[in-house]
Amino acid sequence: MKLENGTYQTKAGSTVEISGEHGGISHVSFDWVEEPNACIDCRVDPYPHHWGKDEDGNDEWRLYWECDRCGGGSSRLERVPQVVHEGQMRIGDLTIRVHHLDDGRRIIPTEDFEAFLAWLENGPGISPEDARMLGMLLRQTGEG
């Protein structure tokens, strides 16, 4: 069993990129400082291990590291959603980017959201039509 091509991340921020025609290329960026149960002597296994199914029935993959000094450890990998389309949305005189992710979510980049908040605070205010569009957008971007 192999991991699908894509980018994966542990809770502490180490990343694994799986690529190649047959998913055989693995590029690991291991954060020795941030990972719990890790020290600078730890040796990372370059390919994630299939751990089994989680309680929701999803395949669980883990990054493993071994160590003679600290005993090593592992951490669950979560797939990092990829941007498949970058759209734009106009609200009054403001344009913000909306990223469509491959898991179906739509997100607003942080700097665009901050620009939107500044615009709300300092701008001309929003029309009822803008408010309606904004409500639609926020419902689409919400998780779940």
Q: Which of 15, 64, 24 is nearest to 43 (CA)?
A: 64
Rounded Cα distance, 32 and 7, in Å: 19
Q: Could you give the count of Cα atoms lying within 13 Å of 90 in the half-sphere of its Cβ? A: 2
Q: Which is nearer to Zn ion, 73 or 109 (CB)?
A: 73
Q: Judged by CB under 5 A, which of 3, 16, 42, 96 binds Zn ion?
A: 42
Nearest approach in angstroms of CB 144 to Zn ion is 38
Does residue 45 belong to the site contacting Zn ion (CB under 5 A)?
no
- Is position 64 an interface residue for Zn ion (rule: CB under 5 A)? no
Asked if 67 touches Zn ion (CB under 5 A), the answer is yes
Contact assessment for residue 106 and residue 66, using Cβ atoms and an 8 Å cutoff? no
> How far apart are the C-alpha atoms of 29 and 131, rounded to whole Å?
42
For residue 43, the minimal CB distance to Zn ion (Å) is 8
3-class DSSP assignment, residue 31:
coil
Tell me which residue has its CB nearest to Zn ion.
67
Nearer to Zn ion, 64 or 113 (CB): 64
Contact between 98 and Zn ion per CB under 5 A: no
Positions touching Zn ion (CB under 5 A) are: 39, 41-42, 67, 69-70
